[in-house]
């Protein structure tokens, strides 16, 4: 899911995001898996997500 929260949102402040766009990989509980994720258009991202899911089972 991609979200746009704006440069001054509580989300941006909470996660201390200094540059937009910023891609952060969060788990279902909102914990950061990767604070500097690659762009969604990068084919490696799907492999990273699959690996994370597989390794957490």
pLDDT of 30 reads 83
pLDDT 10s digits, 27-42:
888 888 888 889 989 9
Position with higher pLDDT, 43 vs 12? 43
**Residue 5 domain-assigned (yes or no):** no
Mind giving me the DSSP string for 1-57?
A: ------TTSHHHHHTT--SSS---EE-TTS-EEETTPPPTTSTHHHHHHHHHHHHH-
**Residue 2 domain-assigned (yes or no):** no
Mean pLDDT for the chain overall:
84
- Judged against a pLDDT cut of 80, whether residue 26 lies above it is answered with yes
Containing structural domain, residue 26: 10-56
**Residue 28 domain-assigned (yes or no):** yes
Count of domains for the chain: 1
**Residue 3 domain-assigned (yes or no):** no
């Amino acid at each position: 899911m991609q979200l746009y929260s704006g440069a001054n949102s509580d989300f941006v402040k909470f996660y201390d995001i200094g540059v937009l766009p910023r891609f952060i990989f969060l788990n279902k509980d909102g914990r950061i898996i990767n604070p500097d994720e690659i762009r969604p258009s990068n084919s490696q991202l799907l492999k990273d997500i699959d690996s994370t899911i597989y390794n957490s089972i």
